[in-house]
Amino acid sequence: MGDQVKLNAGGAEYDYPVLKGSVGPDVIDIRKLYGQTGMFTFDPGFTSTASCESALTYIDGDEGVLLHRGYPIGQLAENSSFMEVSYLLLNGELPSKDELEKFQLTISRHTMLHEQLATFYRGFRRDAHPMAIMCGVVGALSAFYHDSTDISDPEHRKISSHRLIAKMPTIAAMAFKYAVGQPFIYPDNKLSYTGNFLRMTFGVPAEEYEVIPAVEKAMDRIFILHADHEQNASTSTVRLAGSSGANPFACIAAGIACLWGPAHGGANEAALNMLKEIGTPDKIPHYIERAKDKNDPFRLMGFGHRVYKNYDPRATVMQKTVREVFEAMKVTDPLFETALRLEEIALSDPYFVEKKLFPNVDFYSGIILSAIGFPTTMFTVLFALARTVGWVAQWNEMISDPGQKIGRPRQLYTGPTHRDYLPLEQR
Ligand code: SDX
């Protein structure tokens, strides 16, 4: 008999098994709790709730550790590529040279969009937020790819997974082109996954586009840093949507919608806008005080995390990448100095120290993306582009789980109890 915990409820005693993972906190299996006690657990925000079993990504928030299939994010960011990390997340092991080449070729063969979708873009206003376009276009993919939406068919799941990973760069680049009024650029499969994206975004038909290797490497590393992150809000959204049997394109569109929120993936756009509002380092103390003021809704965007109560390991890599991109692009940005100073001041302030608020993945990413040439409205689009492989891998893991059931949480009801309808003349 494994470990158990006892619960005294309603004068009776119940035993619940403790399940152990390969690393991380044990979990109490309460699947029989309601049937035995007639009670629910209560955990809004799921701060103490494991929603599923997963073998993809592990985070130790206190130690600032992030592993993808066991490999530390720092090593992957330094030595791997986004395509290789995508293969790792989808298949569980790092690919051989042949496996990687075959995977990259497969992905490259799905980079084009159905031509009719270009017409779909033309229905949006030119000033539409690119995330609104992403939600619409990705959801619309299920209107075009009926041949890969039977989720019970592993081959369909594989093809739709590859289609989503391959088409996100094309869809994202087209959203940018549509906003700036330039023609869409078709994929060029001679380029790498990330080089292809940069050319589709910044290239124009009027001249050759040269991918800058240092920028391509930095962009690819940024994609690696955003690939997957356990059961965050948008991944949980994708899993919940997928649990009803919805097709993968609709599930990923739901994930994009959730990611858009400023408390989640929208924080990179909000963090750079915050740095622009702060402007120069002398204004930082005023904003630190605002962030600490309970009556002020202002928060330091790019700071804090539900899981990391230590430095977000992705922020460490991101800060290093800022310097590399500045050197490659021969640019600088005074906001980087403001960001470094803001971090320094915040991390020496008792409020942030006590609440364990450190910079997260979104704090520095905007500075890099801005230096590469992306407008702030594209920042969360890039997060969604990279996170698609994580969403797809998590969706596949869920759908392939024979014990998978539709997600259907319960509630603590605090509304009116039974009362009879009153006709209008009696009210
Ligand atoms: C991402 O889940 C993931 O893994 C997400 C992500 C991923 O890869 O998928 O890592 C990506 O979403 C990163 C987070 C990006 N969001 C931001 O940078 C927005 C700013 N951060 C906060 O909104 C907040 O820190 C959250 C939403 C990220 C986490 O919120 P929690 O865990 O619900 O914590 P909380 O809101 O309860 O805050 C705890 C305390 C509160 O004070 P008290 O009520 O206890 O007095 O810390 C304070 C908060 O007021 N606090 C902040 C703060 N974040 C939390 N105070 C000032 N500035 C902040 N940024």
Summarised one tens digit per residue, pLDDT across range 265-301 is: 999 999 999 999 999 999 999 999 999 999 999 999 9
pLDDT at residue 217 in the model = 96
Per-residue model confidence as pLDDT tens digits over 91-149: 999 999 999 999 999 999 999 999 999 999 999 999 999 999 999 999 999 999 877 77
360, 363, 385, best to mutate for ligand 1 pocket (most atoms within 8 Å of CB)? 360
**Which residues are marked as active site?**
305, 362
Ligand 1 cavity residues, CB under 6 Å = 229, 232, 263-265, 267, 291, 299-307, 355, 357, 360-362
Q: What is the C-alpha separation between 198 and 210, in angstroms, rounded?
A: 9
Q: Which is the closest atom of ligand 1 to the Cα of 312?
A: 10
Q: Whose CA is nearest to atom 33 of ligand 1?
A: 306
- Where residue 28 falls among pLDDT bands split at 50, 70, 90? very high
What is the rounded average pLDDT of the residues 209-224?
96
- The letter for the amino acid at 37 is T
pLDDT one-digit tens code per residue, 55-71: 999 999 999 999 999 99
- 312-343 tens-digit pLDDT: 999 999 999 999 999 998 988 999 999 999 99
- pLDDT of residue 247 exceeding 90, the answer is yes
Q: Does 371 score more than 70 pLDDT? A: yes
Neighbours of 415 (CB within 10 A): 5
Q: What is the pLDDT of residue 146?
A: 79
Instruction: Determine the distance separating the centroid of ligand 1 and the alpha carbon of 303, expressed in angstroms.
Output: 7
Nearest CA to ligand 1 atom 34: 306
**Which of 299, 282, 281 shows the shortest CA–CA distance to 290?**
299
Out of 264, 284, 351, give the residue to mutate to test ligand 1, the one with the largest number of ligand atoms within 8 Å of its CB: 264
From start to end of 20-64, where are the E strands?
Answer: 27-28, 57-60
Structure tokens at 152: 């019970």
| Ligand 1, atom nearest to 232 Cα | 2
Q: What is the 219 CA–ligand 1 centroid distance (Å)?
A: 25
Can you give the length of the chain in residues? 427
Helix (H) or strand (E) holding 72: strand 71-72
Q: Specify the ligand 1 atom closest to the Cα of 303.
A: 60
Q: Best mutation site among 68, 260, 305, 314 for ligand 1, i.e. most ligand atoms within 8 A of its Cβ? A: 305
Continuous H helices in 115-230: 116-121, 130-140, 154-180, 193-202, 213-225
Q: How confident is the model at residue 385 (pLDDT cuts 50, 70, 90)?
A: very high
Measured from the CA of 361, which atom of ligand 1 is nearest? 13
- Does residue 240 contact residue 407 with C-beta atoms inside 8 Å? yes
Strand order in the sheet with 71-72: 57-60, 65-68, 71-72
Q: How far is 262 from 154, CA to CA, in rounded Å?
A: 35
Percentage of the chain modeled with pLDDT above 70:
100
Residue 348 half-sphere exposure toward CB, CA atoms < 13 A:
6
Report the distance separating Cα 83 and Cα 110, nearest Å. 14
Contact call for residues 36 and 16 (beta carbons, < 8 A): no
Q: How far apart are CA 214 and CA 317, in angstroms?
A: 15
Q: Whose CA is nearest to atom 46 of ligand 1?
A: 294
Phi, psi of 313 (to 5 degrees): -60, -25
Asked if the model's pLDDT at residue 85 lies above 90, the reply is: yes
187-209 residue pLDDT tens? 999 999 999 999 999 999 999 99
Among protein residues, the one whose CA lies closest to atom 16 of ligand 1 = 263
Residue found under tokens 């130790």: 60
For ligand 1, the distance from its centroid to the CA atom of residue 214, given in whole angstroms, is 32
pLDDT at 1 over 80: no
Judged by DSSP in three states, 204 sits in strand
**No. of helices (H) and no. of strands (E), the chain:** 18, 6
Mean pLDDT over the full length of the chain: 95
The residue type of 177 is K
